[in-house]
Amino acid sequence: MTGSASRRRPASSLIRATRLRTSNRPERPSSCSDGPALRAEKLVMRLCVISGTFHPEPGGPPTYLYHLLPALMERGHAVSVITYGEPEQHDPAAYPYPVTRLTRRVSIPRRLLAFTREVMRQGRDADVLFVSDYGLPAALANLRLRKPLVIKIVADFAWEFASRHGWTDAPVDAFQTAHHPLPVRLLRVVQRWYVRQADAVIVPGRHVGRLVRGWGVAAERLHVIYNALPTVADDLPPAEEARRLLGWPLDEPVLVTVGRLAEVKRVDLQLRALAKMKRGRLFIVGEGPQRASLERLAGDLGLEDRVTFTGAWPHGRALLAIRAADVLVLSSRTEGLSHVLLEAMQLGTPCVATAVGGNPEVIADGEDGLLVPSEDVDALADALNVLLSDPQRRARMAARARENARRFSWERLVEQTEALLREVAHAG
């Protein structure tokens, strides 16, 4: 790729496999036109995968890797994973590839040092360092390794960290040009540095792409590969049966939100919107640092009988919850490109989401879901009331959502990701 030639690296240790021609490829839709073109040469790679979070933890990066890595292995590539977690809490035999988990039970500097050393150790034999969500230790290790480096960026980490610690209240777009205190400026410098070390940067949508472009990443290194998921709806029961299985009411409208209970998700807005509505039960599927404060808020608003906190559920049960819902609600301050929205669309569950980040790239407002302004409780309540009061409109939106979900093709994501990894490895 352009820009990678300036690095001196040892010759790649790629294992050459049977060369396959990729003629008669399906034409990519314009919505994914920024992904890499498929190469005619097929090469088997050893991939060192680096992520701060991994299955069974919730969130976009763990979900993405959990589905992607077996697909890459099916294409002949070798995979190993480095992540955080407590080794004694996980069964290494649960995955068809080795997973190294490093403890979080130490200080952040010691944690970072241990992670960087592990990347240096395992990365020596890799053809590509493939990073999802945690670029700093990979970039530090790669100062010595000099390996091809691909980083997937799904959000502005500096903004998320600063928001979580009360250092900024700016929306993510305004954050890019705002004046910041010294700790935030340092975070942004570090983030820009490690992202710019990559030979290629994957983003899940155009909104994140614009953010990353503003960090000084050259356009030729930036690749939009839209998030997608394997088909999830085939073995799930209809909505009514899903409610019976979950023990949820059949005679009340059901709202569901699925995700980590963190400040950026703004689940408090859903509680405040529900308090303005005469009907509806809200089921909150997820766990996180804000659970206690959200439970207190639900009590303060008199919603004890209308809100259920389920805690974290396995992925299959969370999908059942989405299927059971009349409406899925997503009220985040920002999103890269939400896996939960894609799952809801595949399942035919209408969505109400904030018009932030990549959400408008997924939802066609008024066609297959509704978008509302960020942090607008009245608009959120109005949109939910509109859908709950009109079953026919929900049914029309559900049908369009299933149809439009096909734009986000899992097969295309795997092909484009493999092609980009191969291209970077070949150039290295």
Strands (E), 43-188: 43-44, 46-51, 78-84, 99-102, 128-132, 149-152
Sign of torsion, CA 151 152 153 157?
negative
Phi, psi of 369 (to 5 degrees): 170, 180
**378/413 same-domain check:** no
Domain holding 99: CATH number?
A: 3.40.50.2000
Estimate the share of the chain in helix, then strand, then coil, as percent rounded to the nearest 5: 45, 15, 40
Which of 392-403 are b and which e, b meaning 16 or more Cβ less than 10 Å from the residue's Cβ?
eebeebbebbbe
Most confident by average pLDDT, 81-90, 134-143, 224-233: 134-143
How many residues comprise the chain?
A: 428
Q: For residue 358, give every residue at least 6 positions away whose Cβ sits within 8 Å of its Cβ, in sequence order, or none.
A: 204, 205, 206, 207, 208, 335, 336, 337, 338
pLDDT in tens, 304-333: 999 999 999 988 899 999 999 999 999 999
Residue closest to 61 by CA, chosen among 153, 184, 162, 197: 153
**Own/partner pairs, 300-306, CB within 8 angstroms, 24+ separation:** 301/271, 301/272, 301/274, 301/275, 302/275, 303/271, 303/274, 303/275, 306/274, 306/280, 306/281, 306/282
Same structural domain for residues 351 and 420?
Answer: no
| 198 and 286 fall within a common domain | no
Same domain, 287 and 340: yes
How many structural domains does the chain have?
2
Query: Within this chain, do residues 206 and 245 fall inside the same structural domain, yes or no?
Result: no
Starting at the edge strand found earlier in the chain, the sheet holding 307-311 runs: 307-311, 281-285, 254-258, 327-330, 351-354, 369-372
Instruction: Give residue for tokens 């804000």.
Output: 290
Whether residues 313 and 421 fall in one domain: no
Mean pLDDT, rounded, for 160-167: 92
Residue-range definition of the domain harbouring residue 215: 15-228+409-427
User: What is the model's pLDDT at position 428?
Assistant: 67
* Sheet strands (E) in 103-199: 128-132, 149-152
Model confidence at 140, pLDDT cuts 50, 70, 90, reads: very high
Least confident residue range of 22-36, 181-195, 243-257, 364-378: 22-36
- Contact in structure between 148 and 427 (CB atoms under 8 Å): yes
Burial class of residue 319, CB neighbours in 10 A (0-12, 13-18, 19+): buried
* Encoded tokens for 46: 């050893």
> Are 158 and 210 a contacting pair, CB within 8 Å?
no
Residue 330 identity: L
pLDDT at residue 28 tops 90? no
Q: How far apart are CA 321 and CA 315, in angstroms?
A: 10
- Whether residue 88 is contained in a domain is answered as yes
Residue found by looking up tokens 């930036």 in the block: 222
Q: Say if CB 53 and CB 83 are below 8 A apart.
A: yes
The residues, ordered by sequence, that sit 6+ positions from 90 with a Cβ below 8 Å of its Cβ are 56, 99, 101
In a domain, 4, yes or no: no
Give a yes or no: residue 8 inside a domain. Answer: no
- Predicted pLDDT at 95: 94
pLDDT digits (tens, 9 = 90+) for 265-304: 999 999 999 999 999 999 999 999 999 999 999 999 999 9
| 93 and 180 part of one domain | yes
Q: Which two tokens stand for residue 86?
A: 């407590």
Query: What would the pLDDT profile of 225-236 be if each residue is shown by its tens digit?
Result: 999 988 876 789
With a pLDDT cut of 90, the percent of the chain lying above it is 82
Residue 7 within any structural domain of the chain: no
Which amino acid, residue 141?
A: A
Task: Look at residue 40 and tell me if it is in a domain.
Answer: yes
User: Could you tell me what percent of the chain has a pLDDT over 70?
Assistant: 89
Between CA 75 and CA 203 the distance in angstroms is 23
pTM given for the model: 0.83
Residue type, 415: E
Same domain, 147 and 249: no
6 domain-assigned: no
Three-state DSSP state, 264: helix
Q: How many CA atoms lie within 13 A of 37 on its CB side?
A: 8
Give dist(CA 393, CA 409) in Å, integer.
26
Same-domain check for residues 268 and 257:
yes
- Are 173 and 295 in a shared domain? no
Residues 153 and 263 both lie in one domain: no
Same domain, 399 and 416: no
Q: φ, ψ for residue 152 (rounded to 5)?
A: -100, 125
**Is 1 part of a structural domain of the chain?**
no
Could you report the per-residue pLDDT of 403-421, keeping only the tens digit for each? 999 999 999 999 999 999 9
What is the reported pLDDT for 407? Answer: 92
In a domain, 234, yes or no: no
